[in-house]
Structures are given as structure tokens and as C-alpha cells.
């Protein structure tokens, strides 16, 4: 457990019914004159963009839209978008989308300068400086990217995804409006929901866990473990969706004070090399890695059970409680019909050694893991999910 810890927070988080209506007031109060609005084609196709557009227009702010952001962009694509953004100029960023859009906008916000590039930040994130305020509006529930200081980009030549972490990328304003996740396709809702689950459980069981992160991680777990299936599978389950949106945000806040562990570390090469969506690769690894970690975090998993299992019959032994939690993780992935094997996702058996070597490079997260992961362990874990 960390003994010194800090929680990073946006200046304001707006949540609840029709929370999007706050956008107009935010832009007006900030005195914005020209906004850069980041989104993607999927958000537009889902018919969500007018919600943002109308609110921006109501604020009588000049604006332009950057919408050609691919899912899980690589660093050079992000640099290209940031260059266009810098040329066009703006005094406020509004980003509405999943983690890919939010991370791109966060990076653009610190790249509105010629002093350094995104590749420079991959080498030395401490160079990042905030250049303008940002309003982040997530449409998945989700990465928690709306509140984290992290931005994740693929690095093509390393076939890996890498995180850039800087307080300069913490949002100024966040809007959580459940209308934006109402019609999320079940496949995307499932993968992004399990990502939020992974954030909470990794932050709670990791070496960096501390009282501030525990608060958000445990509450997030309670919300997710008891709402995720209905929220993902029933388009009308607005209360459950709202809970997932909040839980995803809590997962992000937990990350700011703690950090993810081996699930995310081993998932990065799967995204980088095979372009498996972030939530899917985490879902494949979630239960196996937590089971591998169990001997080192049994009491913490037992506390997850105590807090989140609301069945009348109570288990008593810590090992029974931790087994319940791990079985519940497996059940969620199964019920949400997320693939559970790497072969199904196009990973050839012959690549395991390379994958394990790439996973071991993600020491930024592996050092948080409650149990040491050796190269042999990494190979075994990938083998187990092949
Ligand atoms: N910064 C962080 O702290 C953090 C944390 C976790 C993950 N990430 C990163 O976030 C990215 C993944 O983000 P994501 O999982 O939110 O998915 P995403 O942003 O990549 O979106 C996936 C697809 O879903 C579509 N989509 C999004 N919202 C929709 C909606 N409401 N309705 C219909 N379609 C919708 C998008 O258009 C896109 O095609 C990855 O790059 C991952 O590494 C960042
Ligand atoms: Zn994640």
C-alpha cells in the first residue's frame, strides 16, 4: 500500500439527467470564443453529435469539428490531428466520444505548441504543459479517460500501446450524460464496461492501492458487479446505465490515485500487435490474472465480496470469498459474450514468446502488481487464454 497518495480531480463533474445542458453554461462562463470539438464517425453515425453541437451553438461560440479519429489511434495519427488543431487554433476543447476521442483531445490540448511532439512526450511526459481548458464528455462507460491524467496511443514500430501520463491532461470539466450511452452497441458496451471493472479491481488489489483510491474503486466495483449485465444488454435500463457511467468515472478516479496492474500490462501488446479492442483484451485476461494474483491479494478480494455481494447467504472463509469474486468476473465475461480466447481473436500460438516479451516491457504497470510476474508467468498466462 502506498503511504503518500494524491487524488486528481477535474474542476467540476456534471452528472445526472440531461447533464449535457451544462455545456452551454460552461462555455459561456469560460468566455470561450472558438472551440475545437473532437468526436468520431461512430458518434456521428449513432446520432449523438447534435446533442453537443446544439449546446455549443447555444453558447454562440465559433467552433469547428475534428471527427476523423480512428479507434485506438497510433501516436503519428494523433500528432497529425494535433497539428491540424494547432493550425486552426482554439481557446477551448470540447471532446465527445469514447476513450480514443478523449485521449486524442487530451493530447491535442498539450500539443498546441511546437516545443515538443507526441513522440517526445512518450520519452518524457514531464514536458507536457496545459495550453487550454477542456470539457470531456464520455460516450462509453468506459475507460474513465474523462478524469485520468493518462492518454494511450499505439506505437506502431513497437507493436505496443503506451501510456503518456501527465497532470496537464486532467480535464477541467466533465459531463456524464447517460443519453450518450443509451444506444451503445452491446458489443462495445460489454468491452468498455469490463474495462471499467478491470480498472476498479486492479486499482483495489494493486500495490498502489490507498484509502483515496479504495473509496472510488470499491464503490465502482459495487456498482459494476451489480449492474453491468442489465446496463449492457437492456437498451431501456437507464438507471443501470447511469450507474455504469458513474462507476467508469470512479474507475478513472481510482487510477489517478492508484494504478492498473498486470491485466492492463499484458493487454497492451494485444492491442498494439493485433488491434484487439482495449476492453476485449482486458476481458480475456481479467479472471486469469486476478486468479494468478489471488494468493497475494486474498484479503482484498474478500473485502470486495463483503462490500459487493448482496446475497443473503454469507460466505465466511476469505478463500471462499475471493473465489466468489473471481467466479463473478468469469460469469460477467461469459454472459456478455466477450471472446475469451486469443485464437478467436486471431493470435497465432507461435507468437506467445514475442507477446510475453512485449508484455514484460510494461513495467510501469507490472510494478503495481501484487504478485511478481516473471517472463515465464507471462507466457503461462497468455498460454492459458490462448
Ligand atoms: N486515458 C485513459 O485513462 C484510458 C483508460 C482506458 C483505456 N483508454 C484507451 O481508450 C481507448 C478505448 O476507448 P473506448 O473503449 O471508450 O472505445 P473507443 O473510443 O475506441 O470507441 C470504440 C468504438 O465505439 C464507437 N462508440 C463510442 N461510443 C459510442 C456510442 N455511444 N454509440 C455508438 N458507438 C459508439 C466509436 O465510434 C468507436 O468506433 C483505447 O485506446 C484505450 O487504450 C484510455
Ligand atoms: Zn483500461
345, 343, 347, 366: which is closest to 355 by C-alpha? 347
104 lines ligand 1 (CB under 6 A): no
- Output the pLDDT for position 303: 98
Ligand number nearest to the C-alpha of 200: 2
- Closest of 99, 119, 102, 100 to residue 111, by C-alpha: 119
Angle between helices 375-384 and 262-274 (to 10 degrees): 70
Quick one: pLDDT at residue 2?
A: 73
Q: Which ligand is nearest to the CA of 264?
A: 2
Buried b or exposed e, range 292-315, using 16+ CB within 10 angstroms: bbbeebbebbbbbbeebbeeeeeb
> Ligand 2 centre from 267 Cα, in Å?
9
Say whether 161 sits in a helix, a strand or coil.
Answer: strand
Which of ligand 1's atoms lies nearest the C-alpha of 255? Answer: 3
Residue matched to cell numbers 517472463: 375
Residue of minimum CA distance from atom 37 in ligand 1? 42
What's the CA angle centered on 25, arms 24 and 31, to 5 degrees?
95
370 lines ligand 1 (CB under 6 A): no
Q: Is 229 exposed, middle or buried (0-12, 13-18, 19+ CB in 10 A)?
A: middle
Helical axes 278-308 vs 375-384, angle rounded to 10°: 90
Q: Which residue in 7, 19, 13, 36 sits closest to 172, CA to CA? A: 13
Q: How much is the pTM? A: 0.97
What pLDDT is attached to residue 3? 80
CA distance 160 to 280: 16
Cell representation of residue 118: 507526441
Whose alpha carbon is nearest atom 19 of ligand 1? 98
The alpha carbon of 187 and the centre of ligand 1 are apart by a number of angstroms equal to: 12
Residue with cell 494474483: 293
Q: Residue of the nearest CA to atom 10 in ligand 1?
A: 99
Non-local (6+) Cβ contacts of 138 within 8 A are 97, 98, 99, 102, 145, 146, 174, 176, 180, 181, 245, 248, 249
Cα–Cα distance for residue pair 340/386, rounded to 1 Å: 8
Does the beta carbon of 117 lie inside 6 Å of ligand 1?
no
Beta carbon of 278 within 6 Å of any ligand 1 atom:
yes
Determine the residue of 95, 143, 193 to mutate for testing ligand 1's pocket, defined as the one with the most ligand atoms within 8 A of the Cβ atom.
143
CA of 48 to the centre of ligand 1 (A): 15
Ligand with an atom nearest the CA of residue 277: 1
Q: How far is 255 from 263, CA to CA, in rounded Å?
A: 14
216 φψ region: left (φ > 0), alpha (ψ -120 to 50), beta (else): alpha
- Three-state secondary structure string covering 82-127: HHHHHHHCCCEEEEEECHHHHHHHHHHHHCCCCCCCHHHHHHCHHH
pLDDT mean values, one per 10 residues, the chain (386 residues):
86 95 97 97 97 96 97 96 96 98 98 96 97 97 96 91 95 97 95 98 98 97 98 95 97 97 96 93 98 98 98 96 98 97 94 94 96 98 97
Query: What grid cell was written down for 350?
Result: 507461435
Tell me what pLDDT residue 251 has: 98
CB 217 within 8 A of CB 209: yes
Instruction: Say what the pLDDT of residue 267 is.
Output: 96
Residue 155 CB less than 6 A away from ligand 1: no
Nearest CA, atom 32, ligand 1: 184
Please check whether residue 194 is in contact with residue 336, taking contact to mean a CB–CB distance below 8 angstroms.
yes
| Domains of the chain, first to last | 12-181 (3.40.50.1970), 186-384 (1.20.1090.10)
Amino acid at each position: 500500500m502506498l503511504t503518500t497518495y494524491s487524488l486528481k480531480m477535474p474542476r467540476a463533474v456534471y452528472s445526472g439527467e440531461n447533464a449535457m445542458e451544462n455545456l452551454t453554461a460552461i462555455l459561456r462562463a469560460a468566455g470561450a470564443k472558438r472551440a475545437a470539438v473532437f468526436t468520431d464517425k461512430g458518434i456521428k453515425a449513432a446520432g449523438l453529435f447534435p446533442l453537443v453541437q446544439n449546446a455549443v451553438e447555444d453558447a454562440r461560440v465559433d467552433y469547428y469539428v475534428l471527427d476523423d479519429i480512428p479507434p485506438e489511434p497510433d501516436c503519428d495519427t494523433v500528432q497529425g490531428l494535433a497539428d491540424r488543431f494547432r493550425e486552426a487554433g482554439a481557446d477551448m476543447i470540447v471532446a465527445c466520444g469514447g476513450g480514443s476521442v478523449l485521449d486524442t483531445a487530451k493530447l491535442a490540448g498539450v500539443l498546441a505548441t511546437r516545443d515538443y511532439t507526441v513522440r517526445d512526450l512518450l520519452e518524457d511526459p514531464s514536458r507536457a504543459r496545459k495550453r487550454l481548458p477542456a470539457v470531456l464528455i464520455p460516450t462509453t462507460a468506459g475507460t474513465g479517460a474523462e478524469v485520468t491524467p493518462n492518454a494511450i496511443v499505439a506505437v506502431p514500430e513497437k507493436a505496443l500501446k503506451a501510456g503518456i501520463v501527465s497532470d496537464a491532461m486532467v480535464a477541467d470539466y466533465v459531463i456524464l450524460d447517460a443519453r450518450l450511452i443509451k444506444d451503445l452497441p452491446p458489443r462495445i458496451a460489454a468491452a468498455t464496461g469490463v474495462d471499467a471493472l478491470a480498472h476498479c479491481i486492479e486499482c483495489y488489489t494493486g500495490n498502489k492501492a490507498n484509502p483515496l483510491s479504495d473509496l472510488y474503486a470499491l464503490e465502482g466495483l459495487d456498482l459494476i458487479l451489480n449492474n453491468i449485465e442489465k446496463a449492457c444488454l437492456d437498451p431501456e435500463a437507464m438507471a443501470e446505465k447511469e450507474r455504469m457511467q458513474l462507476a467508469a468515472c470512479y474507475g478513472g478516479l481510482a487510477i489517478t490515485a492508484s494504478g492498473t496492474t498486470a491485466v492492463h500490462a499484458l493487454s497492451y501488446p494485444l492491442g498494439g500487435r493485433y488491434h484487439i479492442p482495449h476492453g476485449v483484451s482486458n476481458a480475456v485476461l481479467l479472471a486469469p490474472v486476478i486468479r494468478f494474483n489471488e494468493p497475494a491479494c486474498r484479503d482484498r478480494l474478500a473485502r470486495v465480496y463483503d462490500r459487493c455481494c448482496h446475497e443473503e447467504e454469507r460466505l465466511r472463509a476469505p478463500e471462499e470469498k475471493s473465489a466468489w469474486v473471481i467466479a463473478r468476473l468469469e460469469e460477467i465475461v461469459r454472459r456478455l459474450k466477450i471472446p475469451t480466447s486469443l485464437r478467436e481473436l486471431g493470435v497465432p500460438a507461435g507468437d506467445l514468446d514475442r507477446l510475453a516479451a512485449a508484455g514484460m516491457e510494461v513495467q510501469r504497470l507490472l510494478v503495481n502488481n501484487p504478485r511478481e510476474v516473471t517472463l515465464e508467468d507471462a507466457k503461462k498466462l497468455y498460454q492459458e487464454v490462448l
